[in-house]
Chain A
């Protein structure tokens, strides 16, 4: 089993739609969780961290379910500029542990 798994996608949604991405991780000791965004032919950039209580940043909402080892990202009112690949990333249980990325889910927002 891969350490971090994501919805395979791609997701093709119309502008204004709400879309949700899911991610599961295998290491129950993981402490830190993140969503990164990667535009075509560009490097990944941090979109948002995921906190236990859930967190929101504008149209983006991230949720964490430790019991199910599951992370989600919700995008409301999708914009054309949201088209990208969304990468789930998980850190291990110690401050010295590496950051592992999922395979990514591709999103295309269609006019």
Chain B
């Protein structure tokens, strides 16, 4: 399967713990996005990368959130000191920078904070 893959698919954690999600984009895609989605809402932009450069991070995003894409391939999203409000589906998507609208999404990582 050469699509976008995310790991883990499900994560249950206690409040205050740190969690990390990984995303492996489609191999030739140089752009990688992270979104968060809650029930009944559309994907909310978190951050995105062009190769290894983080181009933008949402102003709504707490400092507890950090993302990296060190070699321009896979990316990680870390949430420190999780809160119950962080419970959501975290979606990763990738695209070619020359085709900025067609994002290919992974199946997501569902986070539940107890």
Could you list which residues of chain A lie within 8 angstroms of chain B, going by C-beta atoms? 4, 6, 32-34, 42-46, 49, 87, 89, 91, 95-104
Contact = CB atoms under 8 A, between A and B. Distances in A.
Size category, B interface: 20 to 34
Given A91-B101, A97-B100, A101-B35, A43 B42 contact: no
A98 B45 contact: yes
Given A43-B108, A96-B50, A99-B33, A34 B42 contact: no
B97 interface: yes
Given A43-B91, A91-B101, A96-B50, 5 more contacts: A34-B101, A95-B100, A99-B101, A101-B35, A104-B41
Contacts of A97: 100
Interface of B: 33, 35, 40-45, 48, 50, 55-56, 91, 97-98, 100-103, 105-108
A94 B35 CA distance: 20
Determine chain A's interface SS by DSSP, over half rule: strand
Contacts of A42: 107
Contacts of B102: 34, 46, 49
B42 A104 contact: yes
Given A43-B108, A44-B105, A103 B100 contact: no
Given A96-B50, A101-B43, A102-B42, A46 B103 contact: yes
